[in-house]
Structure 1
């Protein structure tokens, strides 16, 4: 009799908990498209700013009658510590521009699940942290968001069920002792 009295609230709590977990999973995963959009906008801003800086490098190179590569080499081979440092900085900015440009184009031109995989493959941690810091959650009713929502429900429920089975297994194992 007491066992039946205790089981009813436990079943209610479990049913409530699994719905909360499913809702949380859907809500969390539903944010991925929004985060990727905000990340892409920030990535584009970084790319545009680097493009402006590189444009200034090119103008300075043209004014001295050199190509950009010759201009950078001139700095790197000058023998003057400060010029070598600025040459390295220019090289790093060009490399970063190429990297960000490739990442932006890959992300911008992908869709569906491929967009998520491209995002993961090309993520720039610094930009992702900046995006997260200013991230504004949103709920979109696009097909993409709904698919992510369903994936979140499946993922969170799978984790929940695995943890639940592990707990049940552990309790049964302890009782056998």
Structure 2
């Protein structure tokens, strides 16, 4: 009877982890869309400053920042800092987007898991809608995650059984 229940639990666990696993490609796609939106917005703001640099500093945004930093007016100095932060933001978002678009799928997954911006992931998850994609990479991802999850479950179960056997045999030795 225990074997039948364990088999049902294994199948349920596999199914749940498979469904969760196939969500990863969709989450990455929605993350890419959100990143693209953030990048477009940052570039839109930066291009306005670039236009000023084109008119007054021969297109050199760095020269404009240096000139703004040397200004005696605090609001102009603060604007230089805003421009610098905006340039850094554009570079950061471009590198984030590049990490999840310009590589092989497995590298995209790795970059997403290891390097993705946690705030943008959180925002993406807020608006995330669960889907069951039929794309090969989604199905393979789901299967791999489900198999790894099942293996981890089995290993943990085995370790618990070994530890409990050891503890019960130690109790029996102490009783003698």
- Normalised by the size of structure 2, how large is the TM-score? 0.88
Task: Return the offset for 1:106.
Answer: 3.3
User: How far 1:101 sits from its partner (Å)?
Assistant: 1.1
Q: Which residue of 2 aligns with 1:45?
A: 37
- Cα distance in 2, alignment partners of residues 17 and 60 from structure 1: 64
* Count, aligned residues: 169
Matched, 1:173 2:166: yes
Q: Given the two structures, how large is their TM-score scaled by the length of structure 1? A: 0.88
Are 2:17 and 1:25 aligned?
yes
**Which residue of the partner structure matches residue 121 of structure 2?**
128
Equivalent residues of 1:27, 1:152 under 8 A apart: no
* Segments of 4+ moved more than 3 angstroms: 62-66
User: RMSD value over aligned CA atoms?
Assistant: 1.6
**1:35 equivalent in alignment to 2:27:** yes
* CA shift in 2, pair 1:77/1:121, >3 Å: farther
Shift of 1:121: 4.4
Map Cα deviations across residues 36-69 of structure 1 (whole Å, 9 max, x no partner): 0000000000000011000111122334345311
Structure 2, unmatched stretches of 5+, are: 172-176
Partner residue, 2:102? 109
